[in-house]
Structure 1
Amino acid sequence: MRDFDNLCANCWEELTEGSVCAECGYDNNTQNDSINLKIKTLLADKYVVGKVIKVESDSVTYSGYDGQIEKPIYIREFFPKGIASRFDDGDEIHVRQKFVNEFARYKKSFFNLWTTMQKLHNLSAVVPVYDLVEANGTYYAIIEKTESVPLREYLLRNEEGYISWDTARLMFMPVLTTIEALHSNGIVHGSITPDNLVLCRDGKVHLAPFPITEASDKATALEFTENEGYTALEQYDNKHRICAATDIYSFSACIYRALVGANPPSAVSREANDKLMIPNTIAEKIPMHVIKALVGGLQVYPEKRVKTVDDFRELLDAAPAVRAKAAVEHEDVYQEGAKGGYPDYDDAKGDKKRKAVVWVLVILIVAAIAAAVYVVQFSGLIDNNKDNTTTSAPIKTHQVPNFVGAGYTQSDIENNGAWNEQFKFTFQGEYSSDTEEGIIFKQSVNAGETVDEGTEIILTVSKGIQTQTVPDVRGLTLEDATKQLEELGFKVSTVAVYNDGTHVANTVKNTDASAPAAGSIAAVGEEVILQVYGEVETTTAPAVTESAETE
């Protein structure tokens, strides 16, 4: 086995310049939290544990290294948050007494999930899992490391923020086969989102490693993470039960996000208003049979939703006759003003006759109005010089909707005719680390307030995460370097490096001074680690006494 002591615990490249990796910038003097496995822990005599990458409600994912095939991997440890812990002096998991039964049940679910994923390795949407190790009182799934980008990031990089159905179809349809296979093995995914669907180099969409089903149910002892817009109603603590239709809801929401460019409203909010709204300009580009499938997949209540993956696939792949029927049945998903744009091509002659009748009626109405105006103005029946008293109409009022939290974009608001008649909208941009770019996250008038028609509402649109270029602070004093970085909004931490006497103490190292490296783009608020020369180290030999020599 290759000597892994001199490998970076993040990217597993050879360390060539001290503890800070020249490839990824990770400082290998950094240790995992004491509750996690120590860096360079060995599992099954061949899998090397690296730094913690992600902590979820049921598990911890580490960067790992397979010493046999000498390749980077992911190691996913079953470690339910709030239920399990680990003492500082060992690797064994300690389970809180009140959760012993739950731990055993969830551990079995983890085993079932990852043995199933290992069995389904030949399906195109499965991230390859090639081993499951039992150690330290828990299980470890060994997952192949693949280069990928989350679907959400891919969509945000797209110029329009959304994609066509022709493109989406090639990406999404193979995933249905994998979801169907999970259901056949008694597993409900429970957390399908644009962040958990990843696009790989081969153009295929994979299901990224995901938690056990219980982690997606608010009624269990595991920490519940809501994915607003993608979490189905039954996943909240209520009388409805999680089932295969739960995954159909979240998968439909992902297709909606890909085709529309915005998150669907949350399932909880849709209990009060269950109308699926798609901006006119976008809806015209989506085939009606696909809209019908989304309507069926995004039904709020699971008992009304499409029940099986096979039925959902059939709706998405509808035959021409079904597509025509969908176009008639589901025009109501358009926003106001979208209807009426689809002529009946099967009855062209009848359509011409109807148009002719309409034009005759329009001409007669216009003529009647003109005659009435003439009578009023010129017949002398009304005294135009006499003051007329009119009663002013009462000012209309409207209740302000919740524009925040539903994933609305500026174009969503601008394309909603009803809202634009009721309110005057002003848009402003602001950086946000919590809200993806293009999504509205603030409104100047609170939702639920009743205001006069025409009231101005200022909506703040996220400009995404604010970034800055990391400056070159090599050779500067720590004070000057810190000031320069903090003025740009970065947080600063330091790592002391050996000073052989040729450097001034408390100055930044001359090479590989920072992580992230100088010139790279980093988020404002991110931590920049500086390597700083310490005080010159001197050694003084102890005096040799006569008694010591005797001894």
Structure 2
Amino acid sequence: MKNLDNLCMNCFEELTQGSVCANCDYDNDTQTSFVYLQPKTILNDRYAIGAFVSHESDAATYMAYDMQELKVVTVREFLPKGIAARLEGSVDVHVRERFKPSFDKLKNSFIRLWETISELKNLSAVIPTYDVFELNSTAYAVSEYMETISLREFLLRNPDGNILWDQARIMFMPVLTTLEALHSKGIIHGGICPDNLVLCRDGKVRLKSFCIAEANTMSSELEFNVNDGYTALEQYENNHKMCPATDIYAFSACIFRALVGQNPPDAKSRELNDKLMIPNTIAEKIPTYVIRALGGGLQIYPEKRTQDINTFREQLNASPTVIATASQDEKVQRENKRTEKAEDFEPVIEEEHYKGYPVYDDKPKKNKNNKIIIVVLVILIIAAIGAGVYVAKNGGIGKKEENTSPSVAVAQYEVPDFVSAGYNQSDIENNGAWNKQFKLTFTSKYSTDVEEGIVFEQSIEAGKKVDQNTEIVLTVSKGVQTESVPNVAGQTVDEATKALTDKGFKVSTVEVYNDGSHTANTVKESYASAPAAGSTAAVGEEIVLQVYGEVQTTSAVEPENEIGTD
């Protein structure tokens, strides 16, 4: 095992020229904030923490040394921004009280994510992760260290700023197999961009910077970093949900950047102007089937986008199925164009058409035929009116006919389970079949158990058969109702209790010592309540008040019994 005292905390090679490493140029006198693990901290009696690398939305990353395997690794520590930090001098992660339930839930997501990635370490486009554990009131994931260069840097080093499809195909296509495997395990990367696709020394392109799903949308309580041009529309605040097509959008944008030499416009602006411009000099070098595949992958709305990696791969490979479909489409388009051209520009057809009309020399014959037709039509109209009057007066043609004529049956449909699947309002509104079968309306109310935006009640139970267009009212969760804790310092217990219960809070009290300078049964002036005044708390949460008790009287203490102080 190496002696850590004389090692560089970035590359873990021996220091030979003072604090600045001759191997990697890292200055080992660099100070690390107390928020992060300090260099030479040992985790699990195995991993020596080195230089701090970065702090993303859900985790901090460090260089580290595996003292068992004797190799450099990277350690990712669950440390969600704004929710958790460290107190100076402590290795344990400190979580604010009101965020503790969220922290535990998010930590479990972190553990599940990296345990799943560790199971997939044999995939070619994943940097292998081989250890996941809990320590210091948080969780850690240990991955192999690989020297890499980002796709963005690689492209910037290219003289033209872009590459041809033949080269791009070799780089990008193997990543699709990894993405497909990740999606099958329920993992959406959510942050694919030229900075998170890296080229390794073995020639392979790999994905890095995985985050938990809760960190990949703007609506999350965690910090979300937008990658303009690569972040899909559904990751902004709207009713669309993340899905495998989210990664397909970002991956398509990376291929677009590699081939065209510029980022696609950001998704929000494309809602207003959905045009992807490719210069002719570049477009002529890109195969038509690739442009078509990128068009499907970069559809702005997720429901219109290519939905799965297998289909996207076939489109990029121009598989026989895709070629046949595309050829058929082009054939139909050519046929339509020929038909339109014939109708518009072939005068012979126009002349023959007009020859079908009577010429002026045939006026007597024309008038005679028309009179016969008119007489017949008048007779038929009179008969129809008479039949209509008879039916109106007699309620029908006859009992026998009425009994034997078939009645029109109203279609019936089985009510789906809108609640158990976790649908949001947009999911249901975008389902054409349901909206044809039922009249669906929405209402909303607060819920302490169901995430905001999710349908959790339906007015007609699932499985019941109802007539077409029956109204079903679906209730959407507004999430947990919160209120600001009012300042009740100095108030009587009754006044403070009323102020808090009016806001929907529960109230309990803790009696504190009264030296005689305070009125009994009043709330303390300082640290009056927990949670504190001005903080946000869920309606129904208990607010604890510190209340002065009755004045306590004590007998005088004899001088000889007093305890002195040094």
The reply to whether TM is greater than 0.5 is yes
Q: Secondary structure at the match of 2:28?
A: coil
Quote the Cα distance in structure 1 between the aligned partners of 2:225 and 2:270. 19
Quote the Cα distance in structure 2 between the aligned partners of 1:118 and 1:312. 26
Quote the Cα distance in structure 1 between the aligned partners of 2:314 and 2:28. 52
Note the C-alpha offset of 1:89.
Answer: 1.8
Flag the 1:26–1:309 CA change in 2: closer, same or farther, 3 A. Answer: same
Name the aligned partner's letter for residue 188 of structure 2. Answer: V
In the alignment, which residue of structure 1 is the partner of 2:57? 57
**8 Å CA contact retained: 2:75, 2:141:** yes
Report Cα offsets for 1:192-227 as digits up to 9, x if no partner. Answer: 001000011121100113222221111111001000
| Aligned pairs for 1:446-461 within 5 A | none
In the alignment, which residue of structure 1 is the partner of 2:467? none
**8 Å CA contact retained: 2:314, 2:322:** no
Quote the Cα distance in structure 2 between the aligned partners of 1:53 and 1:280. 42
In the alignment, which residue of structure 2 is the partner of 1:287? 287
In the alignment, which residue of structure 2 is the partner of 1:202? 202
Matched, 1:100 2:114: no
In the alignment, which residue of structure 2 is the partner of 1:262? 262
In the alignment, which residue of structure 2 is the partner of 1:164? 164
Q: Secondary structure at the match of 1:314?
A: helix
Q: Secondary structure at the match of 1:116?
A: helix
In the alignment, which residue of structure 2 is the partner of 1:246? 246
In the alignment, which residue of structure 2 is the partner of 1:140? 140
Q: Secondary structure at the match of 1:5?
A: helix
Highest RCO, 1 vs 2 (Cα 8 Å, sep ≥ 6): 1
Matched, 1:217 2:217: yes
Quote the Cα distance in structure 1 between the aligned partners of 2:329 and 2:7. 61
Quote the Cα distance in structure 2 between the aligned partners of 1:272 and 1:39. 49
Note the C-alpha offset of 1:19.
Answer: 2.4
**8 Å CA contact retained: 2:110, 2:212:** yes
Structure 1: gaps spanning 5 or more residues: 331-343, 358-551
Matched, 1:110 2:118: no
Name the aligned partner's letter for residue 273 of structure 1. Answer: N
Name the aligned partner's letter for residue 274 of structure 1. Answer: D
Quote the Cα distance in structure 2 between the aligned partners of 1:326 and 1:215. 39
Report Cα offsets for 1:28-49 as digits up to 9, x if no partner. Answer: 2323101001110000111011
**8 Å CA contact retained: 2:191, 2:210:** yes
Q: Secondary structure at the match of 1:159?
A: coil
In the alignment, which residue of structure 2 is the partner of 1:311? 311
**8 Å CA contact retained: 1:233, 1:300:** yes
Note the C-alpha offset of 1:274.
Answer: 1.1
In the alignment, which residue of structure 2 is the partner of 1:278? 278
Quote the Cα distance in structure 1 between the aligned partners of 2:154 and 2:20. 30
Quote the Cα distance in structure 2 between the aligned partners of 1:291 and 1:135. 49
Report Cα offsets for 1:507-537 as digits up to 9, x if no partner. Answer: xxxxxxxxxxxxxxxxxxxxxxxxxxxxxxx
Flag the 1:321–1:187 CA change in 2: closer, same or farther, 3 A. Answer: closer
Quote the Cα distance in structure 1 between the aligned partners of 2:229 and 2:328. 27
Q: Which has the higher helix share?
A: 2
In the alignment, which residue of structure 1 is the partner of 2:301? 301
Report Cα offsets for 1:43-99 as digits up to 9, x if no partner. Answer: 011101111111101111111111122211111111101110101121000111222
| Aligned pairs for 1:12-411 within 5 A | 12-319=12-319, 322-323=322-323, 326=326
Note the C-alpha offset of 1:262.
Answer: 0.5
**8 Å CA contact retained: 1:289, 1:327:** no
Name the aligned partner's letter for residue 255 of structure 1. Answer: I
Quote the Cα distance in structure 1 between the aligned partners of 2:104 and 2:177. 30
Name the aligned partner's letter for residue 45 of structure 1. Answer: D
Flag the 1:327–1:38 CA change in 2: closer, same or farther, 3 A. Answer: farther
Flag the 1:292–1:329 CA change in 2: closer, same or farther, 3 A. Answer: farther
Quote the Cα distance in structure 2 between the aligned partners of 1:27 and 1:204. 30
Report Cα offsets for 1:378-398 as digits up to 9, x if no partner. Answer: xxxxxxxxxxxxxxxxxxxxx
Note the C-alpha offset of 1:321.
Answer: 7.0
**8 Å CA contact retained: 2:34, 2:89:** no
Quote the Cα distance in structure 2 between the aligned partners of 1:152 and 1:166. 18
Quote the Cα distance in structure 1 between the aligned partners of 2:112 and 2:320. 41
Quote the Cα distance in structure 1 between the aligned partners of 2:182 and 2:66. 27
**8 Å CA contact retained: 1:297, 1:312:** yes
Name the aligned partner's letter for residue 152 of structure 2. Answer: R
**8 Å CA contact retained: 2:191, 2:209:** no
Q: Secondary structure at the match of 2:5?
A: coil
Q: Superposition RMSD on alpha carbons, in Å?
A: 2.5
Note the C-alpha offset of 1:327.
Answer: 8.2
**8 Å CA contact retained: 1:288, 1:323:** no
**8 Å CA contact retained: 1:197, 1:208:** yes
Note the C-alpha offset of 1:21.
Answer: 2.0
Note the C-alpha offset of 1:316.
Answer: 1.1
- Aligned-residue identity in percent: 59
Q: Secondary structure at the match of 1:133?
A: strand
Quote the Cα distance in structure 1 between the aligned partners of 2:10 and 2:193. 26
In the alignment, which residue of structure 2 is the partner of 1:438? none
Quote the Cα distance in structure 1 between the aligned partners of 2:142 and 2:321. 47
**8 Å CA contact retained: 1:162, 1:259:** yes
**8 Å CA contact retained: 2:126, 2:178:** yes
Q: Secondary structure at the match of 1:140?
A: strand
Structure 2: gaps spanning 5 or more residues: 346-566
**8 Å CA contact retained: 2:85, 2:94:** yes
Note the C-alpha offset of 1:325.
Answer: 6.0
Name the aligned partner's letter for residue 181 of structure 1. Answer: A
**8 Å CA contact retained: 1:292, 1:326:** no
Note the C-alpha offset of 1:305.
Answer: 0.6
Quote the Cα distance in structure 1 between the aligned partners of 2:123 and 2:303. 29
TM-score, normalising length: structure 2: 0.57
Name the aligned partner's letter for residue 77 of structure 1. Answer: E
**8 Å CA contact retained: 2:35, 2:86:** yes
| Aligned pairs for 1:384-533 within 5 A | none
Note the C-alpha offset of 1:326.
Answer: 4.5
Name the aligned partner's letter for residue 110 of structure 2. Answer: F
Name the aligned partner's letter for residue 52 of structure 1. Answer: F
**8 Å CA contact retained: 1:75, 1:143:** yes
Name the aligned partner's letter for residue 126 of structure 1. Answer: V
Quote the Cα distance in structure 2 between the aligned partners of 1:105 and 1:209. 20
In the alignment, which residue of structure 1 is the partner of 2:395? none
Quote the Cα distance in structure 1 between the aligned partners of 2:193 and 2:264. 12
Quote the Cα distance in structure 2 between the aligned partners of 1:293 and 1:55. 35
Quote the Cα distance in structure 2 between the aligned partners of 1:291 and 1:325. 15
**8 Å CA contact retained: 2:77, 2:141:** yes
Quote the Cα distance in structure 1 between the aligned partners of 2:31 and 2:70. 23
Q: Secondary structure at the match of 2:62?
A: strand
Quote the Cα distance in structure 2 between the aligned partners of 1:321 and 1:104. 47
**8 Å CA contact retained: 1:31, 1:39:** no
Flag the 1:327–1:63 CA change in 2: closer, same or farther, 3 A. Answer: farther
Quote the Cα distance in structure 2 between the aligned partners of 1:119 and 1:321. 33
Quote the Cα distance in structure 1 between the aligned partners of 2:181 and 2:322. 26
Quote the Cα distance in structure 2 between the aligned partners of 1:322 and 1:16. 60
Report Cα offsets for 1:346-392 as digits up to 9, x if no partner. Answer: 9xxx9xxx9xx9xxxxxxxxxxxxxxxxxxxxxxxxxxxxxxxxxxx
Note the C-alpha offset of 1:26.
Answer: 2.4
In the alignment, which residue of structure 1 is the partner of 2:408? none
Note the C-alpha offset of 1:301.
Answer: 0.5
Greater Rg over alpha carbons, structure: 2
Name the aligned partner's letter for residue 193 of structure 1. Answer: C
Matched pairs, number:
338
Flag the 1:275–1:17 CA change in 2: closer, same or farther, 3 A. Answer: closer
Note the C-alpha offset of 1:329.
Answer: 6.8
Note the C-alpha offset of 1:2.
Answer: 2.3
Name the aligned partner's letter for residue 190 of structure 2. Answer: G
